[in-house]
Amino acid sequence: MFDEKDMILEAKHVTRRFPASNNRTLVACNDVNLKLYKGKTLGLVGESGCGKSTFMRFLVSLDAPTEGEIFFHGKDITKMKGETLRQNRQKIQMVFQDPSGSFNPKMKIRDIICEPLMNFGRIKKSEKDAVAKKYLELVDLPADFANRYPHNMSGGQRQRIAIARAIVLEPEIVVMDEATCALDVSVQKTIIKLVVKLQKEKNIAIGFIAHDLGLIQSFAHQIAVMYLGNIVEVIPAEDLNARAMHPYTKALMGAIFDIHMDFSKKIASIESEAPSPLDVPDGCPFQDRCGHCTEICRQKRPLLAQMEPGHEVACHIFGKKGD
């Protein structure tokens, strides 16, 4: 589905461990292998606390993995330091879940948008008005918003400003961490349309974190499903309805609400609660909530196995025994 020559970032065997009380260890990401392609969107989906945001923070160097490598154009960004790391930040930007928390409330929108360019000496003060106007129009906001403050704007407008600030450096990758979850459904739709439009215009690779599998499916090119720090399925978004295989992926799909769904059918649910990240069982992490669990599931953790090009599943039902 994807041309390997368009791959710009590859995470290999990325693991992140955090020390916990009583000499225990919390594994937030466990041997994660993912790729980002130019002009494509990778949607990372899973329950709260599964490690989605932890992984994406590695891409923008807000944290570093305990093990593994992340190659951006062939260079391991986890090893970058000092000025090399600073310069690389221009190429990978992030849009946070709460834009208000990432804005200085005392700064005008003009200064918020232009701050990254000023930090890297790419524009002069005299150019700020023109640049702010250009990027406000790019995210479908009036040019006179440049003189406003964040608190004078709605949630959707602030998120557009956050997107403008993220793309002002012309990055190759934009990471969006639950960028629409706090917005009304109608506003979500306009923000997603904006993101898709900008991606087509600028050929940006996007990593989009979400809980809503239905939302991700509507615009992503590839979907990675995460459970307790493990990637359990990677699938082209267009194949999700017909070819999803992992029991957890199917359970998430069954939870999608649609006004056109058949309400005469019972909505499937996942039995029991997810175990604590501090007490993940040996073998398959989904075993205690899976109706297909067998003895091998309790003994060995299944590894991602390719079902067909672009589609990988970590499940003993479909993979080779002992994987």
The whole-number pLDDT of residue 301 equals: 94
Whole-angstrom Cα distance, residue 247 to residue 249? 6
Of 194, 127, 182, the C-alpha closest to 155 is 182
Nearest to 157 by CA among 138, 140, 177: 140
Q: At 190, which helix (H) or strand (E)?
A: helix 185-202
Ramachandran class of 217: left when φ > 0, alpha when ψ lies in -120 to 50, beta otherwise: alpha
The domain ranges of the chain are 4-106+149-313
Residue 124 to residue 121: CA distance in whole angstroms: 7
Residue type, position 110, single letter: R
- How far is Cα 200 from Cα 210, in angstroms, rounded to an integer? 21
Residue 262's pLDDT is what? 67
Kindly tell me the sign of the dihedral angle through the C-alpha atoms of 249, 159, 134, 130: negative
Distance of CA 27 to the CA centre of its chain: 18
Q: What is the CATH number of domain 4-106+149-313?
A: 3.40.50.300
Q: Can you give the length of the chain in residues?
A: 323
Residue 116: other Cβ atoms inside 10 A: 19
Q: What is the pLDDT at residue 323?
A: 41
- Residue-wise pLDDT tens digits, 85-137: 999 999 999 998 888 888 999 999 999 999 999 999 999 999 999 999 999 99
* CA torsion angle 87 92 95 99 (round to 10): 0
**Residue ranges for the chain with pLDDT beneath 70:** 1, 182, 258-269, 271, 319-323
pLDDT value, residue 36: 97
